[in-house]
Chain A
Amino acid sequence: MAEFDQELDASGLNCPLPILRAKKTLNGMQAGQILHVIATDPGSVKDFDAFSKQTGNELMESKEDGGKFHFLIRKS
């Protein structure tokens, strides 16, 4: 996994909390910085993809590892 500036562990949280927490964390970050989100909600895979497309924050990486989902999002 590439380097990141901030990490958000949304494990155990269900829709829509991972997205809402991610958005809140991104609000406090600078453009170009990278957020690493960890989630356990299987719905978050499609949701982060949709979040990225609609907000313009680039989803650099989306992968599953050991039952957890990892997302790298670059703030636009």
Chain B
Amino acid sequence: MDEKKLAIIATKGSLDWAYPPFILASTAAALGYETQIFFTFYGLQLLKKRLSLEVTPLGNPGMPMPMGMDKWFPVLGLALPGMQGMITAMMKQKMKSKGVASVEELRDLCQEAEVKLIACQMTVDLFDMETSEFIDGIEYAGAAAFFEFAGDSDICLYI
């Protein structure tokens, strides 16, 4: 049986959107898939050594709010300074209490399982990012390199 392949493009840099690429990639690797994640634009935040990912309730009516906060703090209240940090802290606490892995842990598990992590070189240049900000063991490449792998993949996801 040929090894199956999973190709993922990760484009988002918030705490909630960090989960799908790392959960799916680590699980696919455990199932025997050869897996690559191509990080572009805000997705590059997921490769930083020091992750400072947050979650925002703004423009996100589907986000369950604790203690009916959405009634006490209608949209303008959610835009107040400090609110995003508070919601992020509550979300992290909730995840911990439910036994959900941290993003760092899932990312480590991906690297351990030899999931190839590729940073979009163009985005690094665009946002004047330093490669020293990023974790070790990643590659830097462009769209053509993504297609070399994705073209042969069995599953290809844009997240």
**Residue B31 at the A interface, CB < 8 A?**
yes
Query: Which residue of the partner chain, among A14, A19, A20, A24, contacts B98 with CB atoms under 8 Å?
Result: A14
Which residues of A (8-62) have their CB < 8 Å from a CB of B? 12-17, 19-20, 23-24, 40-41, 51, 54-55
| CB < 8 Å A-B pair total | 33
Give every chain A residue within 8 A of B113 (Cβ-Cβ): 20
Give every chain B residue within 8 A of A14 (Cβ-Cβ): 98-101
Q: Is the CB of B100 within 8 A of A51?
A: no
Give every chain A residue within 8 A of B109 (Cβ-Cβ): 20
Task: For chain B, give the interface size range.
Answer: 10 to 19
Q: Is the CB of A55 within 8 A of B27?
A: no
Q: Is the CB of A55 within 8 A of B26?
A: no
Separation of A51 and B30 alpha carbons in the complex (Å): 8
Q: How far is the CB of A32 from chain B (nearest CB, A)?
A: 19
**Residue B23 at the A interface, CB < 8 A?**
yes
Q: Is the CB of A20 within 8 A of B30?
A: yes
Give every chain B residue within 8 A of A51 (Cβ-Cβ): 30-31
Give every chain B residue within 8 A of A55 (Cβ-Cβ): 30-32
Query: Which residue of the partner chain, among A12, A13, A16, contacts B27 with CB atoms under 8 Å?
Result: A16
Q: Is the CB of B27 within 8 A of A54?
A: no
Q: Is the CB of A19 within 8 A of B27?
A: yes
Q: Interface on B for A, CB 8 Å cutoff? A: 23, 26-27, 30-32, 98-101, 109, 112-113
Q: Interface on A for B, CB 8 Å cutoff? A: 12-17, 19-20, 23-24, 40-41, 51, 54-55
